[in-house]
Amino acid sequence: MESQAVSVIIPTHNRAELVGRAISSVLAQSRPPEEVLVVDDGSTDDTTERLASRFPGIRYRAIAHRGVSGARNRGIRDARGDWLAFLDSDDEWLPAKLEEQLAALAAEPQYRLCHTDEIWIRNGRRVNPRRRHAKRGGFLFRHCLPRCAISPSSVLVHRSVFARVGLFDESLPACEDYDLWLRICAIFPVLYLDRRLVVKYGGHDDQLSRTVEALDRYRIRALVKIIESGALGAEDRRAAVAMLIAKIDVYSQGAAKRRRAAEVAELARLRTRFSE
């Protein structure tokens, strides 16, 4: 029987007030993980002291500040489990999350990645995701093209997937999850568990969507990467190129309004290259 040993990886940076909630939700799982690994991405607050006193049983790794991709990658490399789960330090799990995912994967062992539905809280209030954010399973590559279709905090993924597609791209300051899901979903089908088992919190000031300008520039980079990787079949490649051109057109309009002539010219060259 295949091992179901789970390592939970929690990256954090200056979130001493929040990461305890995330850790507590992991420790409260009805099926506890074999390992909880917190990767502190160069925090300058009192995260170290708080975690040492409250959670002596977890593994704690402090690294120089590298961004969320570097922190997750360090966790992947250090983790001992065959199944890896990620939890952003501002999110939390409901108690049955791991138990239900492992049961679903045991029932359908052909899948190497499982994600779930989620509850959204923005500025302290529950909000309903729009239809375009609806989750699904199966072969998701084209569904992943417009935006990030999988929440990192909901994922349970076998480590063999990373051996096949590589780790998070540390050169991307944002949209690193979008980039990874494109690479994974170009190859692997995804198991979707239609249960709200993750609580995602939004609206705070240090979220990447607030602190990083013009996220589509990084989605454009991710699309170029996957198109040039050779991993796509003909139909998926056509869909990816069409999405790339659409995103270039939208982003170019914004760059032109901001009088970024060099960036507009570079995007025009990129558009021409993939339109031929």
Q: Which domains does the chain have, with CATH numbers?
A: 6-211 (3.90.550.10), 216-275 (no CATH)
Beta partners for residue 114, in sequence order? 156, 191
247, pLDDT greater than 60: yes
% of the chain residues with pLDDT over 90: 87
Q: Is the dihedral of CA 79, 85, 90, 96 positive or negative?
A: negative
Lowest mean pLDDT of 22-31, 116-125, 156-165, 187-196, name the range.
Answer: 116-125
User: Cα separation of 258 and 261, whole Å?
Assistant: 9
Which residues 6+ apart lie within 8 Å of 204 measured at CB?
90
Mean pLDDT of 227-250: 96
10 Å Cβ neighbour count for 37? 22
2, pLDDT greater than 90: no
1, pLDDT greater than 50: yes
Instruction: State the residue for tokens 């708080």.
Output: 50
pLDDT at position 173 is: 92
| Exposure of 41 in the CB half-sphere (CA atoms within 13 A) | 22
172, pLDDT greater than 80: yes
Among residues 110, 115, 156, 159, the alpha carbon closest in space to that of 133 is found at 115
- Residue 80 token pair: 């001992």
The residue that leads in pLDDT, 209 or 148, is: 148
pLDDT at position 146 is: 94
CA distances, 263 to each of 102, 174, 248, 254, 259 (Å): 46, 18, 11, 10, 9
211, pLDDT greater than 50: no
In 23-161, beta strands by DSSP E: 35-41, 59-63, 83-86, 92-93, 113-122, 125-127, 156-158
pLDDT at position 128 is: 83
User: Cα separation of 144 and 133, whole Å?
Assistant: 10
Which residues 6+ apart lie within 8 Å of 84 measured at CB?
6, 7, 8, 9, 75, 76, 156, 157, 158, 159, 162
Q: What are phi and psi of 124, to 5 degrees?
A: 85, 0
pLDDT in tens, 99-116: 999 999 999 999 999 999
Instruction: State the residue for tokens 């490399």.
Output: 77
The residue that leads in pLDDT, 208 or 31, is: 31
% of the chain residues with pLDDT over 70: 96
pLDDT at position 212 is: 53
The answer to whether residues 106 and 212 touch, using CB atoms and an 8 Å cutoff, is no
Rg (CA), the chain: 19
Among residues 162, 133, 161, the alpha carbon closest in space to that of 148 is found at 133
pLDDT band at 248 (very low <50, low <70, confident <90, very high): very high
- Residue 156 token pair: 């349970």
Going by DSSP bridges, is the β-strand pair 156-158/113-122 parallel, antiparallel, or unpaired? antiparallel
The residue that leads in pLDDT, 212 or 33, is: 33
pLDDT at position 206 is: 56
pLDDT in tens, 185-201: 999 999 999 999 999 99
